[in-house]
Chains A and B, each alone.
Chain A
Amino acid sequence: MNTTVRVLLAGVGGQGVLTAGRVIGEAAMAAGLPVRVGQLHGMSQRGGSVEATVVVGPGETAFVGPGTCDVLLALEPLEALRAAPRLRSGAQVWLSTARVVPSTLGAADRPYPAAEEIDRALLERGAVVHRLDAAALAAQAGDPKAISAVMVGVLAGTGSLPVPAALFEQMVSAISPARSREATLQACRLGMAAAQKLGRQEPVRA
């Protein structure tokens, strides 16, 4: 593989962003691809913004700098907005619509940004935006907290990386504790199906 693919996972502490990044990295590694996974997680456990990066291609680092992100997996809308400047023109954005409202927002005088405002910021970067309710899919799979597994499935479903879907499933399975393995795996599969279905539909328009 000669071109580099930069994937950015953006979410909130506790959503499983770092684990999802690791799963994607392990799958790429198992597919024989050069890969690095970056994570910045100082106080991520306390509900702050968290991101993981997966860079597939030659090189040593895992940076996804401004204007370089090829695929954004946003586990939360406000975090998608925060990641917008990182997108390159033509980037894919897969946005989980369930909000995690930060403590500073939500009051009448400080509203959470409207969905249209977030879409506009993403579209202005020239991105192709798909929205999905990953939380609902996770709940459908039997584990409402498996949003990150859904998003791993979404990435698999997009075919953005030359990694067979079976490898993603294998890594999701390997990293999940036995008691929740089935639900997690199912969440991943639902994400995959959702991405394939949405990919055939019109993306979000301005």
Chain B
Amino acid sequence: MSAPSPARQDPLLAPAGSRLLLLGNEAIVRGALEAGVRFACGYPGTPSSEITDGFAALAPRTGITFEYSVNEKIALEMAFAASLAGARSLVAMKHLGLTYAGDPLTTIPYMGVNSGMVVVSAADPSCRTSPNEQDQRWLGPLVHMPVIEPANAQQALEMTRAAFALSEQSRLPVLLRPTTRVCHTRAPVTLGELQPGQVGSFTRDPARLVPMPAHAVRLRAGLEQRLAQAAQATDHEVFRSAEGNSRTGVLAFGAAAAVCTEVLEQLGAQVRLLRLGVAHPLPEAWLAGQLQNLDELWVVEELSPFLEDAIAALCHRRGLPVRIRGKRTGELPGMYEYEPEVLLRALAPLAAKGRAPAPAPAAPAPVAGRPPVLCAECPHRSSFFAARSALGSEPLFFNDIGCYTLGCGQPLESGDALLAMGAGFTLAAGAARVSGRKTVGFMGDSTFFHSGMPALLNAIKEDVNMIAVILDNDVTAMTGFQESPLVEVSAGHITRRADIVEIVRAMGARRVCRIDPEELSNAISAFREAWDEPGLSVIVSERPCPVFAHREGAGGGKRRPYRIDTSRCKRCGRESCGQRCSQGIHRGYERAMVRARAQESGAEQNIPPVAACATACPLFLCVQGYSAHIAAGRYADALELILDGLPLPDAVCRVCERPCEDVCVRAQTDAPVAINDLKRFVVEWADAQPQFPYRNRTEAEHGRSVAVVGAGPAGLAAAHELRARGYAVTVLDAAPEPGGLLRYGIPAYRLPREALARDVKRLLGLGIRFEGNRRLGRDFTAAQLLEKHAAVVVAIGAHRALRGDAPGSGPQQHDALAFLRDETTRLQGSVIVVGGGNSAIDAARSALRRGAGEVMLACLEARDAMPAIAGEVLEADREGVRILPGTRVLRLLAEGARVAEVRPLKPGAASPADYTTVEETARELRASHVIWAIGQVPERDGLADLAWDGSCLSADARTGATSHPRIFAAGDMVRGPRTVTTAVAMGRRAAWGLDRALRGDAADRRQPPPHPADRTLYRRPGVVRADRAQRAHPPEREPAARTRDFAEVVGVLSEAAARAEAARCTICGNCGNCNACVELFGCPAFVQEGAFVRIDPAVCTGCGVCAGFCPTGAIQPEGGP
């Protein structure tokens, strides 16, 4: 069923004597028609809107001149002018509008009306649809005008009719003030005779109608007399009644009189009931007559003690000994609507014997709320969503009055403050001018015309640093789709008379742009551009209210609804890891995801379950997650994501070889995101906090004990992982301090000892025991360990150095790892480092720092095939290391070495035998030292009984299982020397393998990083973001300065640089914890069902905006694209 259109039935034009079920508001319209109203106008506002709507529908058939005025002040002035021109006029609005019109209102009584003028201003006790409840009766004495209030629909009709006469008798405007309850209650109304409206003439009378001071001061004197005339006129049965015989009286006013009458009936109260419908001026003679026969009087009126005070004063003046009971005496509530339940309690002392009300029931248990939400397809939602996606939480947001007020609540949260019609821009401007923060103000088109234009002009004048957003949907949707002043609707066509963009430009705004909020990508860009420009920007967001457009037949046919493909929704390739996803993601991350998606080309929906960087990362870290957190300034959350997979962040953020950056899709646009620098930034931020902000996720100990042999990266990672799984962990190492290769193999200029110490301290702080100077095979055996512990992880690395087979002697020979342990002994003469891996580079750069003359590095590989981290090779180069790729050392000489160039015999040459020497290139290099860095193999001491695979311990790549069921292995001893990051991953996998062996499936609650062979590298092509941005580079010391000592070379990104760098992440992978559609967009078509979201096809209108940002690309049109 839909409401009948008044035009079709026209009940308000029914003949006299008809009895109809009318709203109070409709009764007011009929009352005005019966009074021969000729001009009507107003501004819609709940609960008054049906009055103006009623006139709008009737005007064409009744000859009444009607308009929806642009605002209430204008409406009041229009009605007054009509009265001066000889037409009975009525102007309608809600309570707030009348105080807005206060300027003309206060002067009109001085000048006086000609034909009757009725001002209807509906009150809203209990603030049901308003930001305040105000008692407008005080306007009576303030303005010098009569104020009347009906108790029911019949009275609404009769009082309206009488109000015109009252106005003409006193030549004052009359304020008719119905409350929500009367406006919106249908009750039987008996109709009177209709009267055609008439227009008299405007009589020139400057002495009255031009209230210059000289005239005003004289006009003032006439006011009291006219009010006195009004007081006589209100002494009429329409405005007051009395019944019942008792010395106890109850005086009830307006809407409260109807409730009060019913409640007194229910209580069986024997009282004299006075009902009053006029608040000002009071029919004093009648009142005094009533008071003479009373001992006490209960005054029942909503909101404020207006009558109570007036009657107390009257009693005082007339010497009447009546005891007044009301709000002042605490017997009636001082605020809110008087519902029956309220009066039943308050008036209980008047109850007849046995009729006292039962005690109030206990407050009911709270029921989940059903907050109103913006409609499906509402363009306001898209505008707010675009603003929040583009600007996050950085700006202060100011909102205004209209449907879009709903944008203040969850999930759009686009209103930090809201005041009154048109104040969205002024609040934004005022806050921006003093706070130094850029602000955003929102306002609808009708509100813009209502009072937003002067507000905007005010901001333009000062070029305030703000974004003014005008949400132009053609209508005042909030109050029932009244047309905006710019729009004309006829026969299904919406015609615009002018363009807000042009208006705003003409007002002097320099930066104005027009957006269609459904074009999310453009809208987001517009907000970002406006944000980046200092000063005032205006964004006009244009799209007709779809509800109105469909109603007017201008919306086109019904579009296909959308659906959510649950196989894509929340599809994350790391879902099984549980740990990360269980922590819930943050709105800032979701916001970054939707922004990234919305700004991609719409065609690209094939979003991989895991970002490329994560698939390349040995640790499978959620890089896009921590980048988004950093971009949003939530460093602790970023840290959580990092620490979850990486127990040695201080070390790894310095030494990682960054395989993630090699595959970053951002490289297709400009350069990879500086992922490891971001990690370093967060870790250093955390280190600088008074307390390291780490949430310990370690399981409680379950009583099993394990040992880890080797305190290098693999061993420490295994120890951490086992401790997290609830084991008591003891770590043993041959060296006195934990760290292994990190401490003794990586020079301090790359990894300062204090950084490593922080990692170690955090690990030991979890309760891991460390025993130094304990060498396997010398100080204890594996069998001894297995007596005390349930299982063992061995991760002793590869420390037995290999030496080249070059004959001869002369220069002092070193092994790289042994050489790197010493950072103090000075070197004399030149150095040749042999090898192309990281140890070789480290040795070469350390040799420079130890004072060597020339440092040369000879390796078999071509430069671009060197196994060392490319960046490290480059740095060595910059520091002056002479790199000799494709070079073999043939023989050592007394003062150096004989070398020659080599040629690989096959592609992918790996061993020295794969290279052939080009004899004719042989030459001599002078050197006092030769450092061998051509590889290391593990020691077998104490482990000889296990199965070995060549020089390496044989172990399962996924579980670290060795040939002994209770011994697991990880790190360089398993597959030969690798990188630190890989060693950490292996340590975590071995811990999982151990845990599986001991506890079975329970071990799977925590998942280690998957083995590289088990991953797909998702490198999504075609991700092209328009906004190019330069990669940030951390500061570093100049080569000349840094080769003098072992102080750290590379610094940390600044906070601003880190946030900007993090924002470069395109978030190319899915997120398994995404709830962005519900948490950020909040269309009513979304229905949450447990872990998933469904689109209700009955609510979805097929606008498809959500499909444009869904981070997983799961939203598709019903039936496929």
Partner of A102, one of B19, B259, B369: B369
Contact of B372 with A46 in the complex, beta carbons under 8 Å: yes
For the complex, is A1 an interface residue (Cβ under 8 Å from B)? no
| Chain B positions within 8 Å of A20 at CB level | 1
CB-based nearest B residue for A4: B262
Contact of A108 with B1091 in the complex, beta carbons under 8 Å: yes
Q: Given A29-B21, A105-B1088, do A60 and B258 touch, yes or no (CB 8 Å)?
A: yes
| Chain B positions within 8 Å of A36 at CB level | 185-187
Q: How far is the CB of B371 from chain A (nearest CB, A)?
A: 6
| Chain A positions within 8 Å of B403 at CB level | 46
Contact of B368 with A62 in the complex, beta carbons under 8 Å: no
Q: Given A66-B341, A175-B4, do A102 and B185 touch, yes or no (CB 8 Å)?
A: no
Interface residues of B in 238-267 (CB under 8 A from A): 258-259, 261-262, 265
For the complex, is A162 an interface residue (Cβ under 8 Å from B)? no
CB-based nearest B residue for A22: B186
Please report the C-alpha to C-alpha distance between residue A174 and residue B1039 in the assembled complex, in whole angstroms: 91
| Chain A positions within 8 Å of B595 at CB level | none
Interface residues of B in 1076-1090 (CB under 8 A from A): 1078, 1082, 1084, 1086-1090
Contact of A82 with B129 in the complex, beta carbons under 8 Å: no
| Chain A positions within 8 Å of B3 at CB level | 18-19, 22, 175
Q: Given A20-B1, A42-B129, A144-B1098, do A47 and B1084 touch, yes or no (CB 8 Å)?
A: yes
For the complex, is B373 an interface residue (Cβ under 8 Å from A)? yes
CB-based nearest A residue for B365: A121
For the complex, is A26 an interface residue (Cβ under 8 Å from B)? yes
Partner of A103, one of B129, B181, B1078: B1078
For the complex, is B426 an interface residue (Cβ under 8 Å from A)? no
For the complex, is B2 an interface residue (Cβ under 8 Å from A)? yes
For the complex, is A115 an interface residue (Cβ under 8 Å from B)? no
For the complex, is B287 an interface residue (Cβ under 8 Å from A)? no
Contact of B1090 with A108 in the complex, beta carbons under 8 Å: yes
Contact of A65 with B340 in the complex, beta carbons under 8 Å: yes
Partner of A63, one of B186, B261, B340, B547: B340
For the complex, is A85 an interface residue (Cβ under 8 Å from B)? yes
Please report the C-alpha to C-alpha distance between residue A82 and residue B152 in the assembled complex, in whole angstroms: 28
Q: How far is the CB of A35 from chain B (nearest CB, A)?
A: 7
The proximity string for B residues 366-402 relative to A, scoring 1 for CB distances below 8 Å and 0 otherwise, is 0111111111000000000000000000000000000
Contact of B262 with A23 in the complex, beta carbons under 8 Å: no
Q: How far is the CB of B439 from chain A (nearest CB, A)?
A: 26
Contact of A63 with B259 in the complex, beta carbons under 8 Å: yes
Contact of B1088 with A61 in the complex, beta carbons under 8 Å: no
Contact of B373 with A103 in the complex, beta carbons under 8 Å: yes
Partner of B184, one of A38, A105, A113: A38
For the complex, is B151 an interface residue (Cβ under 8 Å from A)? yes
For the complex, is A172 an interface residue (Cβ under 8 Å from B)? yes
For the complex, is A67 an interface residue (Cβ under 8 Å from B)? yes
Please report the C-alpha to C-alpha distance between residue A117 and residue B1091 in the assembled complex, in whole angstroms: 22
CB-based nearest A residue for B46: A42
| Chain B positions within 8 Å of A34 at CB level | 188
Contact of A40 with B361 in the complex, beta carbons under 8 Å: no
| Chain B positions within 8 Å of A37 at CB level | 21, 185-187
Q: How far is the CB of A181 from chain B (nearest CB, A)?
A: 10
Which of B21, B186, B1087 has the largest count of A CB atoms less than 10 A from its CB? B186
Please report the C-alpha to C-alpha distance between residue A66 and residue B752 in the assembled complex, in whole angstroms: 73
Interface residues on A, range: 35 or more
| Chain B positions within 8 Å of A102 at CB level | 368-371
CB-based nearest A residue for B375: A46
| Chain A positions within 8 Å of B340 at CB level | 61, 63, 65
Partner of B129, one of A43, A66, A79, A112: A43
For the complex, is A101 an interface residue (Cβ under 8 Å from B)? yes
Contact of A104 with B368 in the complex, beta carbons under 8 Å: yes
For the complex, is A90 an interface residue (Cβ under 8 Å from B)? no
| Chain A positions within 8 Å of B1090 at CB level | 106-108
For the complex, is A78 an interface residue (Cβ under 8 Å from B)? yes
Please report the C-alpha to C-alpha distance between residue A132 and residue B341 in the assembled complex, in whole angstroms: 32
Contact of B341 with A47 in the complex, beta carbons under 8 Å: no
Q: Given A35-B188, A66-B361, A103-B1084, do A49 and B370 touch, yes or no (CB 8 Å)?
A: yes
Partner of A177, one of B2, B129, B180, B185: B2
| Chain A positions within 8 Å of B1075 at CB level | 107
| Chain B positions within 8 Å of A106 at CB level | 1087-1090
The proximity string for B residues 1-25 relative to A, scoring 1 for CB distances below 8 Å and 0 otherwise, is 1111000000000000001010000
Which of A18, A34, A63, A121 has the largest count of B CB atoms less than 10 A from its CB? A63
The proximity string for A residues 54-90 relative to B, scoring 1 for CB distances below 8 Å and 0 otherwise, is 0000011111011100000000001101101100000
| Chain B positions within 8 Å of A149 at CB level | 1
Contact of B185 with A62 in the complex, beta carbons under 8 Å: yes
Contact of A67 with B361 in the complex, beta carbons under 8 Å: yes
For the complex, is B1044 an interface residue (Cβ under 8 Å from A)? no
Contact of A41 with B262 in the complex, beta carbons under 8 Å: no
For the complex, is A16 an interface residue (Cβ under 8 Å from B)? yes
The proximity string for A residues 119-143 relative to B, scoring 1 for CB distances below 8 Å and 0 otherwise, is 0010000000000000000000000
| Chain A positions within 8 Å of B875 at CB level | none
For the complex, is B339 an interface residue (Cβ under 8 Å from A)? yes
Please report the C-alpha to C-alpha distance between residue A107 and residue B1073 in the assembled complex, in whole angstroms: 13
Partner of A61, one of B262, B410, B1087: B262
| Chain B positions within 8 Å of A61 at CB level | 152, 181, 185, 258-259, 262, 340
For the complex, is A148 an interface residue (Cβ under 8 Å from B)? yes
Q: How far is the CB of B566 from chain A (nearest CB, A)?
A: 14
Interface residues of B in 529-551 (CB under 8 A from A): 547
Q: Given A43-B129, A47-B1084, A172-B1, do A63 and B372 touch, yes or no (CB 8 Å)?
A: no
| Chain B positions within 8 Å of A146 at CB level | 1
Interface residues of B in 1084-1112 (CB under 8 A from A): 1084, 1086-1091, 1098
Contact of A40 with B184 in the complex, beta carbons under 8 Å: yes
Contact of A29 with B188 in the complex, beta carbons under 8 Å: yes
For the complex, is A196 an interface residue (Cβ under 8 Å from B)? no
Please report the C-alpha to C-alpha distance between residue A176 and residue B185 in the assembled complex, in whole angstroms: 21
The proximity string for B residues 898-917 relative to A, scoring 1 for CB distances below 8 Å and 0 otherwise, is 00000000000000000000
Q: Given A60-B261, A61-B262, do A46 and B374 touch, yes or no (CB 8 Å)?
A: yes
For the complex, is A48 an interface residue (Cβ under 8 Å from B)? yes
For the complex, is B761 an interface residue (Cβ under 8 Å from A)? no
For the complex, is B406 an interface residue (Cβ under 8 Å from A)? yes
| Chain B positions within 8 Å of A62 at CB level | 185-187
Please report the C-alpha to C-alpha distance between residue A149 and residue B2 in the assembled complex, in whole angstroms: 10
Please report the C-alpha to C-alpha distance between residue A43 and residue B405 in the assembled complex, in whole angstroms: 11
| Chain A positions within 8 Å of B181 at CB level | 38, 61
Please report the C-alpha to C-alpha distance between residue A176 and residue B3 in the assembled complex, in whole angstroms: 8
Partner of A78, one of B180, B188, B261, B367: B367
Which of A46, A67, A110 has the largest count of B CB atoms less than 10 A from its CB? A46
Please report the C-alpha to C-alpha distance between residue A103 and residue B375 in the assembled complex, in whole angstroms: 12
Can you list 5 A-B contacts (CB < 8 A)? Answer: A35-B187, A43-B129, A66-B361, A102-B370, A110-B368
List chain B positions with a Cβ less than 8 A from chain A.
1-4, 19, 21, 46, 128-129, 151-152, 180-181, 184-188, 258-259, 261-262, 265, 339-341, 361, 364-365, 367-375, 403, 406, 410, 547, 1075, 1078, 1082, 1084, 1086-1091, 1098
Q: List 8 A-B pairs, minimum CB-CB distance, nearest first.
A: A106-B1088, A48-B372, A42-B129, A46-B372, A60-B258, A37-B186, A43-B372, A85-B364
Other than A59-B265, A103-B373, give 13 A-B pairs with Cβ distance below 8 A.
A13-B372, A19-B3, A20-B1, A39-B184, A67-B361, A82-B367, A104-B368, A104-B370, A107-B1090, A108-B1090, A108-B1091, A121-B365, A174-B4
